[in-house]
Amino acid sequence: MIPEDHPRYRSLVMRERIADAALKGIVAMEGVGSHGRGEAFDYLIGEKTTESALLAEKTAAALFLNAKKPVISVNGNTAALAAKEIADLQKATGAAVEVNLFHRTEERVEKITSLLEDEGVTVLKGEFERLLPLSHDRALCLREGIYSCDVILVPLEDGDRCSALVDMGKTVITIDLNPLSRTAKTATLTIVDEITRAIPNITEACGRLDSDEIKKLIRSIDNKYFLNSAVNEIMGNLTNAMD
């Protein structure tokens, strides 16, 4: 048991969730490494939602509310950390939820689907086809889901896949604590925040944006600004740490 008064309680709980999910075959072993990279960047960002990340989260809500066919793509790490948060976001946006894995096996798809359903997510099902311009199983997705969506949230994503979705003309929102990653640089909108802090903020914003605010937020999307703000935040924290 992790003591609740531990200064890094939340981070340790998340790490334990990833470890448990890896033992159950929900998170791939490679996903444990990805989580570690996220933890390191969260440490540098100060384990908090920055002002610019909060604006990115509001902007993500605007994109969801303005979408005709929004989709949330879920992988093992996202399901292990944020299944409940995804259920709430789905209710607020009406988005379809599709399981899409980098290290794909049918068994993992089934385990992740059950975990999501246990937390109240409605998971899109059907025949997976090779529809994305990528080699091997990474191309697999559902025609009625990712293939035909206009707006897609791909948290904790791989750079190639993010880029393929952008090339298909989709509006791609990612959540990635590393502002230097290929994913962060390629997406239409990057939220540099920890996934379990980011998703509830998007859900909350969905409940209070009016149509003028939605238009204004979408008009002023500047992903470079969000990435530069995150890098500046990290640089400021590193400089302060040396004082």
| Pairing of β 189-191 and β 171-175 | parallel
Select the binding partner of residue 88 from ligand ATP, Mg ion, none (C-beta < 5 to 8 A, by kind).
none
176 is an interface residue for ligand ATP by CB under 6 A: yes
190 is an interface residue for Mg ion by CB under 5 A: no
177 is an interface residue for ligand ATP by CB under 6 A: yes
Token reading at 226: 């969000």
181 is an interface residue for ligand ATP by CB under 6 A: yes
Sites for ligand ATP among residues 105-164 (CB under 6 A): 156-159
Are 36 and 188 in contact, with CB atoms under 8 Å apart? no
Q: Chain-centre distance of CA 148, in angstroms?
A: 19
Instruction: Determine the interface stretch with Mg ion among 36-44, 72-80, 132-140, 174-182 (rule: CB under 5 A).
Output: 174-182
According to DSSP H, which parts of 46-156 are helical?
51-66, 76-93, 106-118
Which CB, 41 or 64, lies closer to ligand ATP?
A: 41
Q: Chain-centre distance of CA 189, in angstroms?
A: 11
Which DSSP category does 122 fall into? P
Q: State residue 46 phi and psi, 5-degree precision.
A: 100, 15
Residues near Mg ion (CB under 5 A): 181, 183
Residues near ligand ATP (CB under 6 A): 34-35, 37-38, 41, 77, 81, 156-159, 175-178, 181-183, 194-195
